[in-house]
Amino acid sequence: MFGSTSEGTTTVGLNQDADFLSCDHDFNVIQDYAEWELGFRNLLMIQDNTTSPGYCLLQKIRDDVPLPATHVQNECFVKDASGRVLLKNTLYRDILPASHIQHGPSLAVQGRPETADTDYVFAFHCNSLPYEARPWLNRQGIGNWPTADMKRFAANNGCFVVPVGSKVSQKPNLEWRISTSQAERCLMFSLNITQIRCYVLMKMILKTFLHHASEGHISSFMCKTVLLHCIENTHSNAWQENNLFTCLSCCLHVLYNCLQQENCPHFIIPGNNLMAGQFSHEVKALLLERMFHLIQSYGQALLGVQIDDLGQRLQIKLNMLYQIAENIPSKKEKCLNISVGLLRCTATAITVCSSDMLHVSEIIQNSPVTTIQNLLNVLENYERYYREGSKLEQRASSLFTPLVCSTLGTTIASINIQTNNTVPPEALNWLSAGLNSDVASSRLKLASVFYSVGNMVETKFILRDTEGHHDFKKVEPACVCYAFKVSTVWKGFREVAYHQNEKAVRSVRAVCVKFTPAEIHCVPQELKYEMYRSTQDDLLHRDKYKDYWMDWAVVDSLPYLYFLQYKTCRHLQRSDDQQQALANLARTVETEVNLGHRETALNLLGQCMEQENQPNTALLCYMMSLKVRERNNAARFHICRLLARLLSNES
């Protein structure tokens, strides 16, 4: 994930896209034949007098020996006048889904309600920096920035190539842009708060005064590049909070000069002019005029920025609008809102990435045994990041690992339950390692394992412990299976988010409980139906990229807790506790506003009502479930099954 969201350089009002880069590691981009590797599809990066600076051609190299390929393999390749077999940059464009729009190298996906738009960029990785970027490693500015460690990181992490040609390219369908996004993100992570604020203000000014819907525009990446050049060429002590306006003015002057000359050199590959071919004469003149007035306003223009109420807030700071001060949220309130957003985003990222990892593992699996090996490989990578990575990577891997451990444990348990109805120590060890992934989901998976082998006493103990961790004043349900918006925020959750760091996701978030088909023998019979929710007609109404979870059994933690309590107490013949659990399940389904899978909870409640010999109530639950989710809902099957049973009893 790249861009402003990962850098912390955006605001709610800027409403910027989320940027994802998907790297295909089956391809190995090399700069000389010494980097050729057996077992990969090797592509030689070519830069000659026909390619634009910062761009390259990709020549196909044979898979068996490091020699140029001579045959065009398929329509993704073309042979040029020199006989070189080159990869076209249109290969992803040809498989573009209808919901995606091509924007340069990225596929833009318009956000669902309450979600940001998303840009996906497909890329290949090159282990070394391009030759034209290497002089940057020895370049030293006034401020002794970037540091030697940052440049070492850039050199060690190489670059990407992404499928888009230069605006002034002679071969627009064959050129690939060289991206140093990993190095740039490292630089952005090193900025102080004044430098970040300066960049955010530039983007606000850009969006307010310099936005132009015509064929050319100043991009936020140009603003970022200008900022990096300014930091490199000024003393570090200039970037202080009380000097923010001077720093902003400096950046705007440099941007104005770049526009005048139509030359904004890429920070790491200065031969790549970001403004080449971007502006017509008319657009350039218009933008220069607007920028001139901005610079001449000496900061007055900032009062006209409505994004995040910036102008209004500045006026209050300048004692110009006392009377509206009470309508502006307090600093504590703003910090609370930001903290809640950050904690939610962290929890969402953990859950989404874990689900995507399971989905990819499921696609490539041949059996649950293969799934286990895939999960072990993932954990090995997380361990390597924790051992050798940056502090950020260490913290991220520590948050990802428990969810994977929990799924690994249930997958191992599922295999053994199928063969001999036992839970091996290895499975319990992995499940124990994953218990603190969040408030409830991993504990509930452990309880499901014991329930599946008939150990009701241990199941009841785990459920009691899980319920004890669920503080109703703090814990927030978390569903990221689809664009579900949490409608309320508990006061306790806000306070925890404000006072604690990212590890708080383990104590105040209850994510969905997810079982993949590889874990099916750990799933209660009533929940297994969710894995078969879709008819052939329903499949036509699914997004194959986002709705893969519909082939799993997924349920919110709290209703699943009460459902398991009901089933366990029923087996133990604890009728009072059984009825209390049923009442809790019914109350949760009716009153909890933040359930992401209310239809599944209603299906579970309906089956409990059937077991209580209340078929009419059960039928009502299934009908309500269909109102929540009309398609891809196991309620249809339950209705047919229940009606068939009732008719059979009558006959």
pLDDT of residue 92: 74
pLDDT of residue 114: 42
* Level-2 CATH architecture, domain 191-296: Orthogonal Bundle (1.10)
| Cα–Cα distance list, 222 to 99, 176, 403, 456 (Å) | 28, 19, 39, 62
DSSP conformational letter for 171: S
pLDDT of residue 42: 94
What is the third-level CATH fold of 1-182? Beta Polymerase; domain 2 (3.30.460)
pLDDT digits (tens, 9 = 90+) for 217-265: 899 999 999 999 999 999 989 999 999 999 999 999 999 999 999 999 9
Residues 6 or more apart from 93 whose CB is under 8 A from it?
Answer: 102, 163
Strands 27-30 and 41-46: parallel
Closest CA to 73 of 56, 54, 86: 86
pLDDT of residue 193: 96
Q: What does 79-124 look like in DSSP terms, one character per residue?
A: E-TTS-EEE-TTTTGGG--TTEEEETTEEEEPPPTTS--EEEEEEE
DSSP conformational letter for 435: G
pLDDT of residue 202: 95
* Residue 532, both tokens: 């078969």
pLDDT of residue 459: 97
Rounded to whole angstroms, how far apart are CA atoms 480 and 412? 26
Every domain of the chain with CATH number 3.30.460 lies at 1-182
On whether the CB atoms of residues 562 and 585 are closer than 8 A, the answer is yes
Q: Which residue has the tokens 């299976």?
A: 481
- Averaged in consecutive runs of 10 residues, what is the pLDDT profile of the chain (651 residues)? 87 83 90 92 92 94 92 89 92 60 54 57 92 92 89 94 89 92 94 96 92 72 96 93 94 96 96 91 90 88 91 80 56 82 86 82 70 91 90 90 95 96 96 94 97 97 94 84 75 84 87 94 97 93 87 96 97 96 96 92 97 96 96 95 88 60
Rounded to whole angstroms, how far apart are CA atoms 628 and 618? 16
The pTM of this model reads 0.70
Phi, psi (degrees; rounded to nearest 5) at 332: -60, -40
Every domain of the chain with CATH number 1.10.1410.40 lies at 191-296
Closest CA to 609 of 563, 552, 544, 650: 563
pLDDT digits (tens, 9 = 90+) for 130-188: 999 999 999 988 878 999 999 999 999 999 999 999 888 888 899 999 999 999 999 99
Helix residue ranges, H only, 220-330: 220-232, 244-261, 281-296, 310-317
Rounded to whole angstroms, how far apart are CA atoms 514 and 576? 29
pLDDT of residue 487: 67
pLDDT digits (tens, 9 = 90+) for 578-589: 999 999 999 999
Rounded to whole angstroms, how far apart are CA atoms 606 and 367? 33
pLDDT of residue 115: 46
